[in-house]
Structure 1
Amino acid sequence: MTGHDYDVVIVGAGPVGGHLGHILSEQGLHVLMLEEHCEIGKPFQCAGLVTPSAMNRVNLHHTILSDVWGARIHSPQGRPVEIGEPSILRTHVVCRKLFDEGCVRQAIESGATLWLDSKPTDAIVEANGVVITIIREGQECMIRSKLLCGADGVHSWTRRHFRFGRPKEFMIGFQAEVSGYEGVPGRLEMFSGEDIAPGLFAWAIPNGDTHRIGVWAHPDRLNGRSCEMLYDTLLQHPLWKDKFSNVSETARFCGPLASGMVKRIFKERVLLFGDAAGLCKPTTGGGIGPGFDQIHYLAPELVKAVISDKLTASNLKRICKPMEKVRKEHERARILRDLFVSSCDDDELETTFKIFAREDVVTLINEVGDIEKPVPLGIRLLKDIPEFRRMAVRATWALLTG
């Protein structure tokens, strides 16, 4: 490693940064992870849903608080649609602090180094490496690395510093941890309507002995409202207030979500991962699974490139080629989300829910629906349900069918 302090510096020690550090370190690379906060897992800004495939990559099952098998989805006028079967696991709800700590611990055990209370203030790409200026516990230092990876979330310093551009869309979310909500074990609830979640939805997620209640929305449809105001409207809504009458808050969080990959996730000696690259799912806002997938798509060739110090933009473009399929899949999912939810007013949503509530449609949703792969279900709905076929005209069919 002549001339370099580290092979790879990772900005951000959340679950994606931690898992990236683990995968690279176990292949023999010298890895440094930078975390701007003084402890791992805080602040907590996520619903805490981790899909079974993502969980199996890290085997942190001890962090699971509850398992989710289904959902009860409410239309703007209160029409419920129940989907899922108790025998089929859909996703896990985890303690994010324990989960994040577990991902980072695996990296450290594989040989990675962690600096807390540390953040970059400058980075310059030179011919033989990246020179990174870091404020560590209040003191400035400089290090040289072959590769700089930005796994630093929606507000990514790496993305902004190297002018990668913006993800395609930003959503804003708010969530509270509450006790006193009475739900069905293993089933989350979702609420829709312009008053409480314009363009998207609100949720109540079982979280062990408590629940996580939140909303997310398109900023351009808030019309001067904050997400906290939407949350308050949900709790006081005539249709739902009895559900929330006994809840007591223990914590609350607010923040944006970035969806739609930036045009390029690479530059010479620099790569973006996870939320920093705009990898949140447009249908659920989930970012852990896509971030883990990205790591495993890129790691085999990336490790070779780091060892040989062949980290030109052209070589990284080749390595990142598998992500173009992910970009296309996320774009398809966004189009379908807009078609069925985000572009609809409450009357249109109500019409859609009437169709969703039919037994044949619920059966199709249960058979084809997959929280990790929503596109096949969306296309089947457009093809197989007569009332939805006319909606296909509003979509870019060539993009959907690829």
Structure 2
Amino acid sequence: MNRKMDYDVIVVGAGPAGSTAAQCAAEQNVSVLLLEKDREIGVPVRCAEGISGRSLRQFVDPTMNSSRAWIGQEIQGARLIAPDGHYVDIFDDHIGYVLERRIFDRYLAQLAAESGAHVRTNCEVDGLLFDERNFVSGVRIRRGKKSERIQAKVVIGCDGVESRIGYWAGLKTTLRPKDMESCYQYTAAHPDINENLCQFYVGSNYAPGGYAWVFPKGKGIANIGLGISGGQSDLNKNAKQILDQFMSVHFPKAEILSAICGGVPVALFMKRMVSDGIMLAGDAAHQVNTMTGGGIASGMFGGREAGRIAAEAVIEDDVSCSRLSNYHDRWEKVQGKKLRRYDRLAQAVEKIDDETFNRTCTLLQKIDPKELTLGTVFKTALKHEPKLLVEVAKIFFHQTFS
């Protein structure tokens, strides 16, 4: 089969950001190639898989019959567990979801293909092509022993936190150790999994510099994991060892079905996400909520805007850094202020000691559960102990843990 060797837009990485970018570019009738290095899109899963319903509905309809395959569990609220074991449950009108990322990612790639994008798996990009102007002009891929050069007017790098696309293009993608969280997660079966709530364990005894989570997937199965700050250099244990200790205390009878590990960027999004002929989106551009480390929805937003603006630039025959910077401007306008607020909050929460977390939870337990909404949480904290206001804000992440 003869393969097309030049495209208007090439997207590297078929995660949520990449597939969304490919779909949105293809919808504007430009030629698009979506490349995935793994043999199967959505595998391996490297995510806790949680997303708020409000965020998800910006991109897909979770109420469609076809969506049931990629929704693991509907979530009604969040449980915040303090270091001393006391907890408070907070419910909200907006339903959240724990996804089946393996199926969800393939669904998004299918949407891209239905919009006209070509999709190729088992293709590892091992270099960028540059034209006489030093604009990025394509990629070099390797499949087994074969190497190919594919031309493009714009390359969108959605190749994850270990992104090489941006590095090859000269963008500043490196992270300091303290800007990465080391994460380990089990998908496990346990008879006592709460199916309706995502649980968050906060405090240094659970996860130094981070938090532990339990995200139910239905039928007694949950993603149970934690992230620890890369700045915790004095730890004698790694993320797996800390999680194993957590499991032995809280879920001693759990049956481990699978395990994943990896790094999550918790640095603010990149100051420069574009250059001549190149754009970055998703984890590759550090488009995450630094408060929680979640990045599905923010990555899909970045992918959507990158795809749209890449297509517009191709149609206008101007793929310069100046033209593509409209993407960065759009990101700043819609996401920048919000994510900077989360980042300031994350830095404040990082300084909170376990005693303060315990006191906050005790304060919240005095509120009638029927009245325990996000609004009453803030009002009560402000009334009883103003300095707890920022700490209590930790609990609003169940709306934005994506």
Which TM bucket (shorter chain)? 0.7 to 0.9
Please name the residue that 1:194 is paired with.
Answer: 204
Aligned to 1:177, which of 172, 187, 192? 187
User: 2-side partners of 1:364 and 1:78: how far apart?
Assistant: 19
SS at match of 2:94: coil
Equivalent residue letter for 1:320: H
Aligned to 1:331, which of 311, 333, 340? 340
Equivalent residue letter for 1:133: R
Equivalent residue letter for 1:387: E
How far does the alpha carbon of each residue in 1:157-214 deviate from its partner, in whole angstroms, 9 at most, with x for none? 1122223223572112111011124133211222122132112211111101111111
Equivalent residue letter for 1:284: T
Please name the residue that 1:387 is paired with.
Answer: 385
Unaligned runs of 5+ in 2: 391-402
Please name the residue that 1:372 is paired with.
Answer: none
User: 2-side partners of 1:174 and 1:334: how far apart?
Assistant: 22
Please name the residue that 1:373 is paired with.
Answer: none
The structure-2 alpha-carbon separation of the partners of 1:4 and 1:328, relative to structure 1 and needing over 3 Å to count, comes to: farther
User: 2-side partners of 1:35 and 1:354: how far apart?
Assistant: 48
- In 1, are the aligned partners of 2:9 and 2:311 still within 8 Å (CA)? no
The structure-2 alpha-carbon separation of the partners of 1:174 and 1:381, relative to structure 1 and needing over 3 Å to count, comes to: farther
Aligned to 1:221, which of 210, 232, 244? 232
How far does the alpha carbon of each residue in 1:23-60 deviate from its partner, in whole angstroms, 9 at most, with x for none? 11121111111111111111111011132244331336
- In 2, are the aligned partners of 1:176 and 1:251 still within 8 Å (CA)? yes
Higher RCO (CA 8 Å, separation ≥ 6 residues):
2
Residue 33 (1) aligns with residue 34 (2): yes
Q: Give the Å deviation of 1:389.
A: 4.1
User: 2-side partners of 1:362 and 1:293: how far apart?
Assistant: 34
User: 2-side partners of 1:381 and 1:150: how far apart?
Assistant: 45
How far does the alpha carbon of each residue in 1:66-104 deviate from its partner, in whole angstroms, 9 at most, with x for none? 11111221111111111115xx23311111110000000
Please name the residue that 2:47 is paired with.
Answer: 46
- In 2, are the aligned partners of 1:167 and 1:278 still within 8 Å (CA)? no
Please give the TM-score of this superposition, normalised by the length of structure 1: 0.85
- In 1, are the aligned partners of 2:83 and 2:206 still within 8 Å (CA)? no
RMSD: 2.7
User: 2-side partners of 1:298 and 1:39: how far apart?
Assistant: 24
Written as runs of structure 1 = structure 2, the 5 A alignment for 1:1-400 is 5-56=6-57, 57-59=59-61, 61-62=67-68, 63-85=70-92, 88-126=93-131, 127=133, 130-165=137-172, 166=174, 169-209=179-219, 210-221=221-232, 223-237=235-249, 240=250, 244-259=251-266, 260-325=268-333, 326-339=335-348, 341-359=349-367, 363=371, 365-367=373-375, 384-389=382-387
Q: Give the Å deviation of 1:123.
A: 0.9
Unaligned runs of 5+ in 1: 370-376, 393-402
The structure-2 alpha-carbon separation of the partners of 1:367 and 1:352, relative to structure 1 and needing over 3 Å to count, comes to: closer
Please name the residue that 1:399 is paired with.
Answer: none
- In 1, are the aligned partners of 2:24 and 2:308 still within 8 Å (CA)? no
Equivalent residue letter for 2:181: M
What is the total number of aligned residue pairs between the two structures? 374
- In 1, are the aligned partners of 2:195 and 2:217 still within 8 Å (CA)? no
SS at match of 1:90: strand
User: 2-side partners of 1:385 and 1:198: how far apart?
Assistant: 29
User: 1-side partners of 2:104 and 2:332: how far apart?
Assistant: 28
How far does the alpha carbon of each residue in 1:263-307 deviate from its partner, in whole angstroms, 9 at most, with x for none? 201111100001110011112222110012223445544322121
Moved more, 247-256 or 220-229: 220-229
Equivalent residue letter for 2:60: V
The structure-2 alpha-carbon separation of the partners of 1:328 and 1:170, relative to structure 1 and needing over 3 Å to count, comes to: farther
The structure-2 alpha-carbon separation of the partners of 1:68 and 1:120, relative to structure 1 and needing over 3 Å to count, comes to: same
- In 2, are the aligned partners of 1:54 and 1:288 still within 8 Å (CA)? no
Please give the TM-score of this superposition, normalised by the length of structure 2: 0.85
- In 1, are the aligned partners of 2:21 and 2:308 still within 8 Å (CA)? no
The structure-2 alpha-carbon separation of the partners of 1:120 and 1:297, relative to structure 1 and needing over 3 Å to count, comes to: closer
- In 2, are the aligned partners of 1:355 and 1:361 still within 8 Å (CA)? no
- In 2, are the aligned partners of 1:195 and 1:230 still within 8 Å (CA)? no
Equivalent residue letter for 1:388: P
